[in-house]
């Protein structure tokens, strides 16, 4: 068996986490959600060939809805479809990653701008709360907690922008990056960590003052720095610190 997917029998891919209380009537939609999660979570190696037949067995469906879902995932940029040669998980080059991070930076920068126009004091207070929580994780060197809270902060800013279109685009690009994170076992460097905390202070400060342009700049730069850290991590993956007291 040459297949790159673990071959432990038949249905492997779980019936959609449904963590966000989402529901999808049609089969292809359900399949789409499941497959997307499955790919984003890094269950298929980069560039691995994924025979349709096998996926069909795993999901317990016929090829028609599966192929529809694959086309959509390809449009989203998660996989690529080679003519007559099937679907492959899209292998992101370093350049691709840089581009992705920059686009994310642009979207967050935009989110910051829009948030300044629309955010309520209560929302700012909630973000402050998250900020302190994150600071706690930082002090305790709890990388995982830090990471999650960090993500919630950024999502809160995007939510405060009151723009569903932006939110959707953001989620799409975030998914592509998350896949790399999952599979490459990302972690920030210690040095970068403290810097990131300082940047978050500045973000919060600008947000409080509704300093539109300033926040936009800070958010962009913050993501830019993340990008640099990520690329460095990929280039020399030995020098990371996932958890340490």
Partner DNA sequence: GCCGGCCATTTTGCATTCATTTTTTGTCAC
Partner DNA sequence: GTGACAAAAAATGAATGCAAAATGGCCGGC
Binding site for DNA (CB under 7 A): 2, 26-28, 49-54, 61-65, 67-68, 81, 83-87
List the beta strands (DSSP E) in the chain.
49-50, 79-82, 86-89
- Closest CB to its own copies among 108 and 134? 108
Contact, 206 vs 127, CB < 8 A?
Answer: no
Question: Phi first, then psi: what are they for 183, rounded to 5°?
Answer: -75, -30
Work out whether 109 is an interface residue with its own copies (CB under 8 A). Answer: yes
Work out whether 102 is an interface residue with its own copies (CB under 8 A). Answer: yes
Cα→Cα distances 79→51, 70, 97, 202, Å: 13, 8, 15, 37
Considering only 6, 10, 19, 25, the residue that binds its own copies (CB under 8 A) is 25
Q: Could you say which of its own copies, DNA, none residue 165 binds, taking C-beta under 5 to 8 angstroms by partner kind?
A: its own copies
Rounded Cα–Cα distance for residues 171 and 167 (Å): 6
SS3 state at 85: coil
Q: Could you say which of DNA, its own copies, none residue 18 binds, taking C-beta under 5 to 8 angstroms by partner kind?
A: none
Contacts with its own copies by CB under 8 A lie at 25-26, 28-29, 64, 67-69, 71-72, 74-77, 83-84, 96, 99-100, 102-103, 105-107, 109-111, 113-114, 163-166, 168-169, 213, 216-217, 220
């Amino acid at each position: 068996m040459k297949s790159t997917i673990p071959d432990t029998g038949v249905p492997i891919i779980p019936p959609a986490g449904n963590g966000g209380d989402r529901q999808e009537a049609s089969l292809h939609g359900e399949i789409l959600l499941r497959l997307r999660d499955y790919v984003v979570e890094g269950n298929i190696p980069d560039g691995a060939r994924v025979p349709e037949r096998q996926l069909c067995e795993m999901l317990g469906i016929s090829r028609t809805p599966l192929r529809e879902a694959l086309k959509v995932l390809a449009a989203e940029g998660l996989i690529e479809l080679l003519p007559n040669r099937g679907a492959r998980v899209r292998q992101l080059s370093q350049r691709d990653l840089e581009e992705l991070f920059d686009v994310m930076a642009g979207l967050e920068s935009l989110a910051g701008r829009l948030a300044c126009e629309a955010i309520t004091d209560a929302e700012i207070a909630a973000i402050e709360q998250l900020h302190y929580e994150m600071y706690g994780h930082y002090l305790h060197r709890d990388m995982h907690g830090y990471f999650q809270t960090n993500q919630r902060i950024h999502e809160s800013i995007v939510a405060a922008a009151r723009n569903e279109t932006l939110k959707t685009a953001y989620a799409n690009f975030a998914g592509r990056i998350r896949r790399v994170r999952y599979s490459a076992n990302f972690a920030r460097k210690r040095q970068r960590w403290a810097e990131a905390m300082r940047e978050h202070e500045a973000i919060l400060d600008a947000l409080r003052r509704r300093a539109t342009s300033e926040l936009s700049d800070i958010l962009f730069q913050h993501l830019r720095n993340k990008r640099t850290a990520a690329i460095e991590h990929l280039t020399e993956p030995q020098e990371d610190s996932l958890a340490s007291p």
